[in-house]
Amino acid sequence: MAMENGEIPENANEHCPGPQSESAGKSDACQGCPNQEICATTAKGPDPDLVAIAERMATVKHKILVLSGKGGVGKSTFSAQLSFALAAKDFQVGLLDIDLCGPSIPKMLGLEGQDIHQSNLGWSPVYVESNLGVMSIGFMLPNPDEAVIWRGPRKNGLIKQFLKDVYWGELDFLVVDAPPGTSDEHISIVQFLQATGIDGAIIVTTPQQVSLIDVRKEVSFCKKVGVPVLGVVENMSGLCQPLTDFKFLRMTEAGEHTDVTGKVIEYMREKAPEMLDLIAANEVFDSSGGGAAKMCMEMGVPFLGKVPLDPQICKAAEEGKSCFTEQKCRVSAPALQNIIEKLMANYWHEETPVER
């Protein structure tokens, strides 16, 4: 099979080092591959696609990876809300979704059903606002229920295409929403962007040990590949919402529930009106091990803060809206805003938006 432009062929082994690698055709991963002989004997040279990627990324000031060890910890929600917040500061923002098997960014940005358009400049991102563009495989699927069943080489090829063929224009920030774990997609995005400079990674976790165990691996991955850890966010850090948003139930001996919310709210209004302004909080995940803050101290990486599990931010994500524009996310929006302000102060305090 011809390997034009150094592309990894689709019939390659899963952990193919790439036909331009010095170990091509020689590494353990090459054993049994139908391309092993041609890879071992073909002259090596720089991948021309990396030059094209460098040219595209030359107009992007800052590149941020958003990672997680586990799935379902709110990484894509954080990526979406970070992008909304940066755009609200009048920065030019791009959000690249490389979670190829579970692309949820189109839903969380309110862009379901949109298509990618091509021009002589390349693929055009789908825009939420004039200064917030999005690219995802979700825009390319003929059916939203379609499963993406691809091996590593094909995934790597699409990520490379996203980086070299998408015309972002002048960007202040490119936020990359990666899938959970440390697999092909992560290795590819680091490899393709390394020459152009990656500001670092924000790692999202939940407080319990079963999530933190995998986050430690994510921190280790970043250190091994030379990507700075900008900080760790502890998401879903306790259920937290106004007391009046709760539903109150009375359970019978038979286990049936009767809704008594109206009576309880009315009683509080009459007998203890000051309770109506209270925020109720409860730990959902066990954080007795010290949570993300302790892990960050042990591993020598910054702890950015906690974001509570807030049903209102879940609703904002479902509706594809920013949690900052309305006053509904009373608990989670200030927590997210504090984390974003900390990031700006620590890393981009002198940054001013590019002219549109």
Binding site for ATP: what residues are annotated? 69-76
Instruction: Name the binding residues.
Output: 16, 30, 33, 39, 69-76
Q: What is the DSSP letter of 195?
A: G
H or E segment at 352? none
Q: Which residue ranges are tagged as binding site for [4Fe-4S] cluster?
A: 16, 30, 33, 39
| Identity of the amino acid at 106 | P
Task: Give the 3-state secondary structure of residue 347.
Answer: helix
* Distant-in-sequence, close-in-space partners of 113: CB < 8 Å, separation ≥ 6: none
DSSP string across 33-61: -TTHHHHHHSPP---HHHHHHHHHHTTEE
What letter would DSSP give residue 142? Answer: S
Q: How many helices (H) and strands (E) does the chain have?
A: 11, 13
CB 98 within 8 A of CB 185: yes
How close are the terminal C-alpha atoms of the chain, in Å?
45
Quick one: tokens of 245? 């948003």
**Angle subtended at Cα 15 by Cα 14 and Cα 20, rounded to the nearest 5 degrees:** 115
Q: Which residues of 179-188 are buried (b: 16+ CB within 10 A; e: fewer)?
A: bbbbebbbbb
d(CA 192, CA 195): 7
Count of C-beta atoms within a 10 Å radius of residue 330: 16
